[in-house]
Amino acid sequence: MVVFRGITNNTISIYTDIRTPKVSQLLLNPNASVLFYDYKKMNQIQLTGTIEVEKEYDATVWNSISPKAKKDYTTKLAPGSVIDEPDKVLYGDNINFCILKFSFNEIDYLDINRPYHTRAKFKLTNNEWLGNYVIP
């Protein structure tokens, strides 16, 4: 699970701890997709593309993060490490912050509605989004 921190054109910025397994996995295979689902509106959007791992963090971005949020990137143990009690997290001076840049070039939209569902697919081709309705 990730939190999107910003979007420019078709690139979404995601903040994460560089020690998470997803970072090493993305360095081996940058292909990725994200799925959004709104159960109230019954809409689903899937974005497909690639993720670039920015290993060196931008100090301007780092300085814009609240002190409370910065703590999340300074734990002594990596995310997913087993601990005895939830309030026993230890913090250090090392900054393990990095930014993932998710550039998507495909959008798959599904509107789940009765009596008919509506689905459309779009692909970025030569800086232009081209799309078609498709069978859901």
Q: What pLDDT does residue 83 have?
A: 92
Give me the DSSP letters along 99-125.
EEEEEEEEEEEEE--SS--EEEEEEEE
Q: Report residue 59 as tokens.
A: 């100090």
Burial of 1 (0-12, 13-18, 19+ CB in 10 A): exposed
The Cβ of residue 87 has, within 10 Å, a number of other Cβ atoms equal to: 6
The Cβ of residue 56 has, within 10 Å, a number of other Cβ atoms equal to: 8
What are residue 6's phi and psi, to 5 degrees? 175, 160
pLDDT (average), residues 5-18: 92
Q: Report residue 94 as tokens.
A: 């090392």
Q: Rounded CA gap, 40 and 25, in Å? A: 33
Q: Rounded CA gap, 30 and 24, in Å? A: 10
pLDDT, tens digit (0-9, with 9 covering 90-100), for 69-110: 999 999 999 999 999 998 889 999 999 999 999 999 999 999
pTM value? 0.86
pLDDT, tens digit (0-9, with 9 covering 90-100), for 15-59: 999 999 999 999 999 999 999 999 999 999 999 999 999 988 788
